C-alpha cells in the first residue's frame, strides 16, 4: 500500500471544482515535486493530504487512514503529515526553541525539558543550534523557514508537505532552505513539494507532477519531463519559471 492514495479525489468550493477526480499514489520515500500555473489546485491538493480541507468527492487515504474519518483519525493524519508554508507561520512571541518544542509538548505530550531536548536536536539538524533563544523577528527569512521545518519535524511526521517554501525568500537565502530539504530527502523522508525551483526538482525530486485545472496533466521523471516537456502548456509554464 502507498503512503498517500488519492482515489478519484475531488474538491469543490461551491460551484468551483479545484481538484477534479485526481488519482495519485505516492510511495514511502518518494520526493514528489508539484508544479503548475497559479490556481491549478496545488495548495489545495497539499491541504487535502493533511485534512486542512475537506474533500467533496472520492477518497484520500493517508498512511491507511481516510481523510473522511472521525476527529481522532483526522488528528492522527495531521500528525503524520507535517506542513511548511510560504510564510513561515512561526509563533512571533516564542523563541525558536519554544516554537519547535510546541508540537512535542502539545501533540506528543512530552515534558517541557524532553520537548526542548527534541527541539535542540532539530535546531542542530537545520543548522540553527546557536539561534535557539532568538525570536522569529531576530532571524532572517531563511532561518525562520528552517525553524518552521524543524517545528514540522518535531512531531515525527511520516510525510512532509512544502507549499512554495522558498517563494518568500531573497535568492541568496533560498539555498539554505533547499539544502535542508535535500538532506531530509536523502534521509528517506516522503515529501510533496510545491516549488518553482526546477534545479531542485531535477536534483532531489524522484517524480514531477504538472497540474492544470485540478487535474494531473504530466507525471514523470523530473529530468525527463523538464528537459522534454510532453505538452505545450508545460513547456510554456517552464518558460515562465526558468
Which residues contact ligand ADP by CB under 6 A?
A: 13, 16, 18, 36, 38-44
CB of 13 to ligand ADP, least distance (A): 3
How far from 97 is each of 8, 115, 124, 146, 173, CA to CA, in Å?
41, 9, 11, 12, 21
Residue 13's binding partner out of Mg ion, ligand ADP, none, with CB under 5 to 8 Å set by partner kind: ligand ADP
Mask for 32-51, x = binds Mg ion (CB under 5 A): ----------xx--------
CB of 115 to ligand ADP, least distance (A): 32
CB of 10 to Mg ion, least distance (A): 18
CB of 227 to ligand ADP, least distance (A): 23
What is the grid cell recorded at 28? 514511502
Q: How many helices and strands, by DSSP H and E, does the chain display?
A: 9, 10
Q: Which is nearer to ligand ADP, 41 or 157 (CB)?
A: 41
CA angle 165, 212, 199 (to 5 degrees): 40
Q: Does 195 bind Mg ion (CB under 5 A)?
A: no
CB of 224 to Mg ion, least distance (A): 25
How far from 88 is each of 3, 4, 96, 133, 214, CA to CA, in Å?
26, 24, 12, 18, 26
Contact present, 150 and 75 (Cβ < 8 Å): no
Mask for 79-98, x = binds Mg ion (CB under 5 A): --------------------
Residue linked to cell 507535517: 82
Residue 36's binding partner out of Mg ion, ligand ADP, none, with CB under 5 to 8 Å set by partner kind: ligand ADP
What is the crossing angle of helices 112-125 and 141-153, to 10°?
A: 130
Q: Which is nearer to ligand ADP, 48 or 152 (CB)?
A: 48
H/E stretch holding 66 reads strand 65-66
Amino acid at each position: 500500500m502507498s503512503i498517500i492514495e488519492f482515489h478519484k479525489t475531488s474538491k469543490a468550493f461551491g460551484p468551483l471544482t479545484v481538484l477534479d477526480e485526481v488519482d495519485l499514489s505516492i510511495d514511502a520515500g518518494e520526493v514528489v515535486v508539484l508544479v503548475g500555473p497559479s490556481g491549478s489546485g496545488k495548495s489545495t491538493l497539499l491541504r487535502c493530504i493533511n485534512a486542512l480541507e475537506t474533500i467533496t468527492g472520492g477518497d484520500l487515504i493517508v498512511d491507511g487512514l481516510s481523510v473522511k474519518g472521525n476527529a481522532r483519525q483526522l488528528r492522527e493524519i495531521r500528525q503524520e503529515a507535517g506542513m511548511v508554508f510560504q510564510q513561515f507561520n512561526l509563533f512571533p512571541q516564542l523563541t525558536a526553541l519554544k516554537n519547535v518544542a510546541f508540537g512535542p509538548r502539545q501533540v506528543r505530550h512530552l515534558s517541557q525539558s524532553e520537548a526542548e531536548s527534541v527541539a535542540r536536536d532539530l535546531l542542530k539538524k537545520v543548522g540553527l543550534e546557536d539561534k535557539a533563544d532568538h525570536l522569529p523577528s531576530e532571524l532572517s527569512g531563511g532561518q525562520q523557514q528552517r525553524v518552521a521545518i524543524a517545528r514540522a519535524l518535531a512531531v515525527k511526521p511520516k510525510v512532509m508537505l512544502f507549499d512554495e517554501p522558498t517563494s518568500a525568500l531573497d535568492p541568496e537565502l533560498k539555498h539554505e532552505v533547499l539544502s535542508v530539504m535535500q538532506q531530509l530527502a536523502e534521509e528517506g523522508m516522503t515529501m510533496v513539494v510545491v516549488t518553482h525551483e526546477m534545479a531542485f526538482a531535477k536534483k532531489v525530486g524522484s517524480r514531477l507532477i504538472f497540474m492544470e485545472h485540478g487535474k494531473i496533466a504530466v507525471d514523470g521523471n523530473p529530468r525527463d519531463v523538464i528537459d522534454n516537456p510532453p505538452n505545450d502548456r508545460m513547456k510554456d509554464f517552464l518558460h515562465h519559471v526558468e
